[in-house]
């Protein structure tokens, strides 16, 4: 299916948002469009909707399930589109969003579908799931100047930390069950990253409901959606392994000439398996088994 705009999708294609889980993928450039699609189709999303400029071409449609929407993400961003889609989705529908060259992993995703994951999460009375955006990058920037390579992929094995999230409406006291998480390339090259974009936490999986809005910081107007766990025990978290920061740092004229390699003493090859992310503490299985 092909829609000419987000408005067209909401007007004529509401059925694609009526039953979840639904993956919403925003293409900021043409890097790894097909692999991003194939990865999320393989996880079992009911609908996979990609937003990309009309000039971009897709070479394949895995399983014939892709919904294409003309939308210039680089020019107008994703926030307004996301909030329109939340309003158009059936209440209770699970939505997930990411950008191209980003790949969702969750505990045991090699053998469990995303539908099973969210059925379990729903039973735990959770309406949202925290995801950590884990930076991945090409090891050899001479061979891969855009910093993207699926065969020469590296990530940081350490250097991640969390700080209390202050509540400006409560004299700056920490918000309950909310933290700001940092690490990866956004931490190592923070001089090139605006302060408000250094977090690596993203509420990437959530249930639509009337009045819900996404904020620019990848959090929501409902504060409970922004918590990492419920009050009584730890909940599942996910990881989104992402070339997005590496691409931006190499594309930006202010940083590209300062970076000859992203590798350092804490870099390890990425194995493209959830076990590695669990072992590194980059996602939490909670009560999931």
Is 215 in contact with 222 (CB distance < 8 Å)?
no
Among all chains, which residue has been given the structure tokens 């999320």? 40
Is 180 in contact with 199 (CB distance < 8 Å)?
yes
Beta bridge partners of 137: 154
pTM of the model: 0.95
What tens-digit pLDDT sequence spans the chain (289 residues)? 899 999 999 999 989 999 989 999 999 999 999 999 999 999 999 999 999 999 898 876 655 678 999 999 989 999 999 999 999 999 999 999 999 999 999 999 999 999 999 999 999 999 999 999 999 999 999 999 999 999 999 999 999 999 999 998 888 899 999 999 999 999 999 999 998 899 999 999 999 999 999 999 999 999 999 999 998 888 999 999 999 999 999 999 999 999 999 999 999 999 999 999 999 999 999 888 6
d(CA 230, CA 224): 9
**H-helix or E-strand spanning residue 121:** helix 114-123
């Amino acid at each position: 299916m092909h829609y000419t705009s987000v408005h067209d999708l909401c007007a004529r294609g509401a059925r694609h948002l009526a039953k979840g889980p639904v993956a919403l993928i925003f293409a900021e450039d043409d890097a790894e469009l097909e692999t991003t699609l194939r990865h999320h189709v393989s996880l079992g999303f009911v609908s996979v909707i990609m937003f990309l400029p009309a000039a971009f071409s897709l070479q394949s449609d895995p399983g014939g399930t892709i919904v294409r929407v003309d939308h210039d993400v680089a020019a107008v961003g994703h926030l307004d589109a996301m909030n329109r889609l939340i309003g158009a989705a059936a209440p209770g529908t699970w939505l997930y969003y990411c950008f191209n060259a980003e790949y969702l992993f969750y505990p045991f995703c090699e053998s469990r579908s995303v539908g099973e994951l969210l059925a379990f999460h729903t039973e735990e009375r959770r309406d949202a799931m925290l995801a950590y955006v884990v930076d991945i990058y090409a090891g050899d920037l001479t061979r891969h100047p855009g910093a993207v390579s699926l065969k020469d992929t590296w990530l940081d094995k350490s250097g991640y930390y969390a700080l209390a999230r202050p509540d400006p409406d409560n004299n700056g006291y920490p918000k309950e069950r909310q933290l700001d998480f940092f690490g990866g390339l956004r931490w190592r090259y923070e001089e090139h990253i605006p302060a408000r974009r250094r977090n690596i936490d993203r509420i990437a999986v959530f249930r639509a409901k009337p009045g819900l809005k996404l904020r620019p910081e990848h959090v929501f107007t409902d504060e409970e959606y922004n918590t990492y766990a419920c009050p009584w025990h730890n909940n599942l978290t996910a990881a989104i392994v992402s070339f997005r920061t590496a691409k931006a740092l190499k594309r930006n004229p202010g940083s590209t000439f300062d970076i000859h390699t992203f590798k350092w003493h804490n870099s390890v090859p990425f194995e493209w398996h959830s076990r590695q992310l669990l072992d590194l503490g980059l996602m939490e299985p909670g009560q999931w088994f």
